[in-house]
Amino acid sequence: MWKELCKEIIACRACPRLVAWREYCGKHPRRAYQGQSYWARPVTGFGDLEARIMICGLAPAAHGGNRTGRIFTGDRSGDFLYRCLYQVGLANQPISVNREDGLEVSGCYITAIVRCAPPHNRPSPEERDRCLPYLVRELRLLDKVRVIICLGAFAWSGMLRVLRELGYFRRPAPPFGHGVEERIGPYSLLGSYHPSQQNTFTGKLTEAMFMKILRRALRLANVQM
């Protein structure tokens, strides 16, 4: 069923603005990626289908996941994320270059609220809502997930909508914050700043801060690495 869902995601053309942007980026690569073939389609989730930990971001980067075809791969955010996952034993290597680089994750699954790269990393509310049913279905299939790390406020609010669709909700909705922890239904939600260059280069998010989130997730999920 997961493979069928992935096929549906990859074939999706529901948001004209996102389709146009992802394909434009594929035809106009950055100088560093000249000559490379871009994925330029929606990007599926990646990881362990038996995972107890889910990590949810905003969307693929225009010249990261939209280029490589794997979430958080080929950009600075992914470099930061997988380096940290490696340090806690959730990834077999600290490098994320392309889909054939040998990277594997164990105990966690990585996904996003929106599956296409949006202009300026800002999906519209309508684009978010068209994409959320994929995440609802994904979470239903990943029935062992018990901890969800939301990378940024957009992922946090999107995940709250997903959980409400699954029948779990809180009133009032808990606000996002780095290190915030909330129990909603069978899930523990953990908030973290997104590992974007804007956050990691300025020190708003450090590896030590993110490692603390990951170790808390491991304890909550009772994952033995």
The partner residues of 147 in beta bridges, in order of sequence, read 53, 188
Greatest extent of the chain over all pairs of C-alpha atoms, in Å = 51
Which residues, 6+ apart, have CB-to-CB distance to 3 below 8 Å? Answer: none
Q: Give strand pairing partners of 54.
A: 109, 148
| Token reading at 191 | 């908030």
pLDDT (tens, 9 = 90+) of the chain, 225 residues, equals: 999 999 999 999 999 999 999 999 999 999 889 989 999 999 999 999 999 999 999 999 999 999 999 999 999 999 999 999 999 999 999 999 999 999 999 999 999 999 999 999 999 999 999 999 999 999 999 999 999 999 999 999 999 999 999 999 888 999 999 999 999 999 999 999 999 999 999 999 999 999 999 999 999 998 544
Residue 35 confidence (pLDDT): 87
Q: Model confidence over 104-114: pLDDT tens digits?
A: 999 999 999 99
